[in-house]
Amino acid sequence: MSAILLMLLGLGGMAAGYFFYSRYIAERIFRFDPDFITPAHEFEDGIDYVPTNKFVLWGHHFTSVAGAAPIVGPAIAVIWGWLPAFLWVVLGTIFFAGVHDSGAIWASVRNRALSVGSLTGYVVGKRARSIFMIVIFLVLLMVNAVFGVVIARLLINNPGSVVPIWGAIAVALVIGQMIYRFKFNLPLVSLLGVIALYWLIYIGPAVPVALPESVAGLPANAAWILILFAYAAIASLLPVWVLLQPRDYINGLQLFVGLILLYGAVLIGSPKIVAPMINHQVPEGAPPLIPLLFVTIACGAISGFHGLVASGTTSKQLNRETDARFVGYFGATGEGLLALAAIIAATAGFASLADWQAVYSGFGNGGVQAFVDGGAVILSDGIGINAAVAGTMLTVMAALFAGTTMDTGLRLQRYIFQEFGEIYGIRWLGRPLPATLMAVGCCVLLAFGAGGPDGSGGLLIWPLFGTTNQLLAGLTLLIVTVMLVRLKRPIWVTLLPLVFLLLMTLAALLIQLNSFYQKQDWFLLGLDIVVLVAAILVTLECVSALRKSERESATEDV
């Protein structure tokens, strides 16, 4: 099958979702009101609450939610064949992610722009808020550990990308200084930054860097993970304008460049998809498609992380309530596009089925490396970029996304530890440095426990990350559903995705529980049990909250 056809089908589906389904939910379900005074106007303060142009806000939302996860997930999930991953990404974006994101913005805007955490307390109840804190802690823990493992593997598999990946940090530092200290013109700085980054990518393959087999008794993979966490710890302690802000900015530009190049190359080169539609020869040890597909691809189909962005920053800057459709729904669609590109790269960028099968020889084996290798072939065939440079470009893109998420994730986790310190009166934990060290310690432990010091464990932990992410999405959908019940509006648009997500998450956790037990992987088994308990708590909370709000709205009628 031609990749162009798949691309057009995907794009067409998502476009139809935006033009028809999102219009329906915006007008009939959420009933966005153009005259509603949004928090951005009501509390305008020039800092948190600033009415912002909807295109700019869409840019924020899209680039904050799209990162490494919508690349890694689909690139792992194509092991079951391209069709299941494709259907889940396209239908998930249309019926799950778009509704979730625009719903989260709506819920927040209608409640003084509260964050999802506060909203769970305010709309659902205090107990739900405690569960939310547990889930968010788990998500952050997993995202940092997983991305540490992902970047370490990328650095080892692509020695040519080491210089540009670390060089990008220097570029970001310089950009930050140029903007804040020297007040340079931003378009000019952006142009210089992009040129510097692509120059580094261009020379990267000529100056490969590889760590020796063993560094101080540790395998290279373990050494990279430690270096990455040391970097992330320092980065998360720096003021945001020094590194995180310019890094995020470059990533945003990279995302647009990467997407345009990839889709352009598919159009020009018209590669053939070599992977099977449905893989009947799934490697031994791979878990069943249902339910694991729905947690392997979290970001790209639906992801709880979006709710944090939607309610944290987006809702405070929404100019008009009707903009929530474009910003939220279309923002989620943007992420779906990235996931679709990842599917195409990981299924069409191989010479033959045998090559593809060699890469996907075990669950979690293909992943982001398959995206990089496949994407590089598509780019070099389509628009004639040197294959080594194209591979480096995609590696850098994925590693930068993952790295920035690590910075942010570690920072957020530090805040949680600091809060623990304050709540329980542990003074030393209230300070940034010890709290950061605690956060790093947990993440490193998880990264080693899950992947093994030599990285042999692969990305077994990835679906677990997906489950926690889905639980977070479930909580956001619950908030929106409860609000809809109280307003006596149809709830199926959010209730059906919620039920589906919870069922798949619970089933996936049980299946994985069994598989970790069979493998006698006690570490992951323990982790699975923790997530399972959280999942059961979320489910119980959903049932009780919905029954309570149903009863309340019924008594109002009497």
Partner 1 sequence: MEPPEKPTLPRNLKLVFQRIGRQLELYYQGPYRRAIGRSVRDEEDFFMLLVFGESLGIPNPASFYTLELQPLMLERFHEWHKRMGMERSPLDDFPCC
- The least distance separating partner 1 from the CB of residue 246, rounded to whole angstroms, comes to 8
Among the listed residues 24, 43, 199, 241, the single contact to partner 1 using CB under 8 A = 241
Helix and strand counts by DSSP (H, E) for the chain: 24, 2
Considering only residues 242 through 301, tell me which ones interact with partner 1, judged by CB under 8 A: 244-245, 248-249, 252
- The verdict on 50 binding partner 1 (CB under 8 A) reads yes
Which amino acid, one-letter code, is at 425?
G
Long-range contacts of range 49-52, CB-CB < 8 Å, 24 or more positions apart? Answer: 49/113, 49/316, 49/317, 50/316, 50/317, 51/317, 51/318, 51/319, 52/317, 52/318, 52/319
Which structure tokens are listed for 431? 């300070």
CA distance linking residue 73 with residue 364, whole number of Å: 9
Among the listed residues 64, 347, 405, 467, the single contact to partner 1 using CB under 8 A = 64
- The verdict on 40 binding partner 1 (CB under 8 A) reads no
Rank residues 54 and 129 by Cβ distance to partner 1 and give the closer one. 54
- The least distance separating partner 1 from the CB of residue 47, rounded to whole angstroms, comes to 4
Which stretch in 52-60, 209-217, 381-389, 539-547 sits in contact with partner 1 by CB under 8 A? Answer: 52-60
Rank residues 45 and 213 by Cβ distance to partner 1 and give the closer one. 45
- Any idea of the CA torsion for 83, 284, 345, 452, to the nearest 10 degrees? 140
Helical axes 492-519 vs 462-486, angle rounded to 10°: 160
- The least distance separating partner 1 from the CB of residue 316, rounded to whole angstroms, comes to 8
Element (H, E) at 218: strand 218-219
Rank residues 55 and 522 by Cβ distance to partner 1 and give the closer one. 55
CA distance linking residue 333 with residue 97, whole number of Å: 8
User: Backbone phi, then psi, for 353, in 5-degree steps?
Assistant: -60, -40
Among the listed residues 114, 179, 343, 377, the single contact to partner 1 using CB under 8 A = 179
- The least distance separating partner 1 from the CB of residue 241, rounded to whole angstroms, comes to 6
535 contacts 512 by C-beta, under 8 angstroms: no
- The verdict on 55 binding partner 1 (CB under 8 A) reads yes
289 contacts 83 by C-beta, under 8 angstroms: no
- The verdict on 405 binding partner 1 (CB under 8 A) reads no
168 contacts 393 by C-beta, under 8 angstroms: no
49 contacts 325 by C-beta, under 8 angstroms: no
Rank residues 129 and 316 by Cβ distance to partner 1 and give the closer one. 316
Element (H, E) at 355: helix 353-359
Residues with Cβ within 8 Å of 159's Cβ and at least 6 positions away in sequence, in order, are 208, 209, 210
- The verdict on 52 binding partner 1 (CB under 8 A) reads yes
- The verdict on 319 binding partner 1 (CB under 8 A) reads no
Q: Cis peptide before 291, with omega less than 30 degrees from 0?
A: yes
- The verdict on 311 binding partner 1 (CB under 8 A) reads no
Among the listed residues 59, 160, 331, 382, the single contact to partner 1 using CB under 8 A = 59
Which stretch in 43-51, 155-163, 513-521, 537-545 sits in contact with partner 1 by CB under 8 A? Answer: 43-51
Rank residues 42 and 48 by Cβ distance to partner 1 and give the closer one. 48
Rank residues 187 and 217 by Cβ distance to partner 1 and give the closer one. 187
- The least distance separating partner 1 from the CB of residue 204, rounded to whole angstroms, comes to 26
Among the listed residues 182, 183, 187, 213, the single contact to partner 1 using CB under 8 A = 187
Residues that bind partner 1 (CB under 8 A): 46-48, 50, 52-53, 55-57, 59-60, 64, 179, 185-187, 190, 239-241, 244-245, 248-249, 252, 313, 317
